[in-house]
């Protein structure tokens, strides 16, 4: 089980030590977990001149097994795990036997259980471990697994978090398979120590990121508990934001052809998307959920309907006393009530003539309450709500809704963001601004906003147009939503360059296939979309 005491060329040793130093620096800088694991194994193969190797991981979730993460074999052309996109098909290596004892017959398990490096000159001559699986693999492939070097990876708490196993050291001059030398062992152990530190740091950062994202989702769930009409929005806007951002990143023409993102940029934008409406946690639920113009705790249109029943009763009595038929009067009262019911439903734009009719109805009828006192059929507040020009919110209620973005910015700017997330408040806080400076809360112009904030603005609008879970409207079809978005582009509301990419790269369709109902996904004629020029795009 000992390494071969081979004398190494001093010049070669210095070169390999320099390589080890550079590898350590590279590993400490790698942020992606898959690339980090892959780099660890490739570096170990390089520094020991191994033909193949496997990296196993031991996790807190599965402490009694070693999971295959990366497998490489140059001679056989095998590359699995990591960034290859080809998962390792082998089951985890158990550290315990069926009877509960330690599985010390498998060399990788032994290294993990004992925390010791194992060097084997020839697996076919080794008596201390079970290499039957290795020999079966060799028979199936024609390969000859000879020398093995198995090194445990220990973290700063002396816990085994993985195992590096290298196969078939090769002579640099002849390429012949030879045993791993003592120098190979020392270099591999040093690399394993650095790798364990880099991996532990990456996992700790990953855990912090996971905890942070879980907290964000908890906040969105709190909003969801207040209103089922907002949490879906909080989930969907980040997804649409990233779809458009990736399309911009990939474009090779137009004013944004040079705009690119790295992994840090992607994560920062994702977090901003998740938090873009966090201020809604303070918005009163009766305003968020206001499905009709008269809705508060309940829909007050039914109170008005009750009054109109009293008005009809009085009209009938008056007609009887006058000796005439009340049919025409009752029909007119019913028509006015039906009109008020229709007005109670939020519209895209209420006509001026309809608003005037509401005022006329309010002045036309009086009713007597249970105490016999005469009252107006509509209160001033009911008239105000029924004459809302667009949607279901009064100006005061709209101001309360709009206040959520101020709260969002205040909440986010109060946090001590690390450098790689320092732009989150700006990205999240700009999605209600307009390119012409007429947005809110700060009235920023296009030139004062980042591309990311402008991307989020389009995502926020398109999601709201197509959402099926709003209490006050049906979700628009694709063609309807794009017509509205196009008019907003012409009106200086959204970024024209991002709008072109949104259409040209069919970001809208990829989003629709995930989140819109089949009935909403109609045929889109891009040539008819306002503000979009098919030829120049």
Token pair listed for 337: 């009530």
Q: Which residue bears the tokens 């806007």?
A: 237
For the cut 90, the answer to whether the pLDDT of residue 393 exceeds it is no
What confidence score (pLDDT) does residue 345 get? 87
Q: Where are the beta strands (DSSP E) in 389-434?
A: none
Architecture category of domain 227-283+396-528 in CATH: Orthogonal Bundle (1.10)
Query: 141 Cβ partners below 8 Å, 6+ apart?
Result: 76
Nearest residue to 150 (alpha-carbon basis) of 128, 173, 174: 128
Is omega for the bond preceding 75 within 30 degrees of 0, making it cis?
no
Confidence of residue 14 (pLDDT cuts 50, 70, 90): low
What confidence score (pLDDT) does residue 139 get? 94
User: For 401-418, how does the pLDDT look when each residue is reduced to its tens digit (9 = 90+)?
Assistant: 778 889 999 999 999 999
Please give the average per-residue pLDDT across 165-194, as a whole number. 91
Report the alpha-carbon distance of residue 426 to residue 409 in Å, rounded.
8
Right CATH number for 10-205 from 3.30.450.40, 3.40.50.11540, 3.30.450.20, 3.10.20.740? 3.30.450.40
User: For 136-153, how does the pLDDT look when each residue is reduced to its tens digit (9 = 90+)?
Assistant: 999 999 999 999 999 999
For the cut 70, the answer to whether the pLDDT of residue 9 exceeds it is no
Contact 242, 263 (CB under 8 A): no
The larger pLDDT score, comparing residue 421 to residue 15, is at: 421
Confidence of residue 131 (pLDDT cuts 50, 70, 90): very high
What confidence score (pLDDT) does residue 373 get? 87
The larger pLDDT score, comparing residue 535 to residue 259, is at: 259
Domain parsing of the chain, residue ranges: 10-205, 227-283+396-528, 301-392
What confidence score (pLDDT) does residue 354 get? 93
Q: What is the mean pLDDT of the chain?
A: 89
For the cut 60, the answer to whether the pLDDT of residue 302 exceeds it is yes
Number of neighbours of residue 336 by Cβ within 10 angstroms:
19
């Amino acid at each position: 089980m000992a390494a071969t005491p081979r004398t190494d060329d001093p010049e070669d040793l210095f070169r390999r030590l320099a390589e080890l130093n550079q590898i350590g620096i590279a590993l400490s800088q790698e942020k992606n977990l898959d690339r980090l694991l892959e780099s660890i194994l490739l570096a170990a193969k390089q520094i020991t001149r191994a033909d193949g190797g496997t990296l196993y991981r031991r996790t807190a979730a599965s402490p009694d097994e070693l999971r295959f993460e990366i497998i490489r074999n140059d001679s056989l052309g095998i590359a699995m795990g990591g960034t290859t996109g080809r998962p390792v098909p082998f089951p985890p290596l158990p550290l315990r036997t069926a009877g509960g004892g330690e599985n010390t017959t498998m060399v990788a398990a032994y290294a993990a259980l004992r925390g010791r490096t194992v060097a084997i000159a020839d697996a076919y001559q080794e008596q201390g471990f079970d290499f039957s699986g290795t020999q079966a693999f060799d028979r199936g492939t024609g390969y000859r697994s000879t020398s093995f070097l198995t090194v445990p990876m220990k973290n700063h708490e002396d816990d085994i978090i993985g195992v590096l196993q290298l196969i078939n050291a090769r002579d640099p001059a002849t390429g012949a398979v030879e045993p791993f030398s003592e120098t190979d062992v020392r270099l591999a152990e040093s690399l394993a120590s650095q790798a364990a530190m880099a991996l532990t740091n990456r996992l700790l950062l990953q855990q912090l990121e996971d905890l942070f994202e879980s907290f964000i989702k908890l906040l969105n769930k709190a909003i969801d508990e207040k209103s089922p009409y907002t949490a879906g929005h909080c989930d969907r806007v980040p997804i649409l934001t990233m779809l458009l951002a990736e399309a911009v990143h990939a474009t090779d023409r137009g004013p944004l052809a040079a705009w690119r993102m790295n992994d840090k940029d992607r994560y920062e934008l994702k977090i901003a998307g998740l938090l873009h409406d966090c201020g809604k946690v303070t918005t009163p639920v009766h305003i968020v959920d206001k499905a009709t113009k008269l809705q508060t705790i309940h829909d007050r249109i039914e109170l008005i309907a009750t009054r109109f029943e009293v008005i009809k009763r009085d009209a009938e009595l008056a007609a009887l006393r006058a000796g005439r038929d009340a049919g025409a009067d009752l029909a007119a009262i019913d028509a006015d009530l039906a009109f008020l019911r229709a007005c109670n439903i939020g519209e895209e734009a209420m006509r001026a003539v309809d608003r005037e009719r509401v005022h006329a109805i309010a002045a036309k009828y009086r009713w007597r309450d249970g105490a016999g006192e005469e009252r107006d059929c509509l209160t001033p507040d009911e008239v105000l709500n029924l004459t809302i020009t667009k949607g279901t919110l009064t100006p005061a209620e709209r101001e309360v809704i709009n206040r959520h973005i101020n709260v969002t910015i205040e909440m986010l700017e109060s946090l001590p963001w690390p450098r790689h997330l320092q732009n989150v408040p700006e990205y999240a806080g700009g999605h209600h601004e307009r390119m012409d400076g007429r947005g809110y809360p700060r009235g920023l112009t296009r030139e004062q906003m980042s591309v990311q904030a402008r991307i989020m603005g389009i995502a926020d609008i398109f999601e709201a147009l197509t959402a099926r879970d709003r209490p006050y409207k049906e979700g628009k079809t694709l063609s309807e939503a794009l017509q509205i978005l196009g008019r907003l582009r012409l009106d200086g509301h959204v970024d024209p360059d991002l709008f072109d990419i949104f259409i040209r790269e069919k970001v809208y369709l990829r989003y629709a296939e995930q989140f819109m109902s089949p009935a909403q996904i109609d045929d889109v004629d891009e040539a008819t979309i306002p503000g979009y020029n098919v030829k120049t795009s």
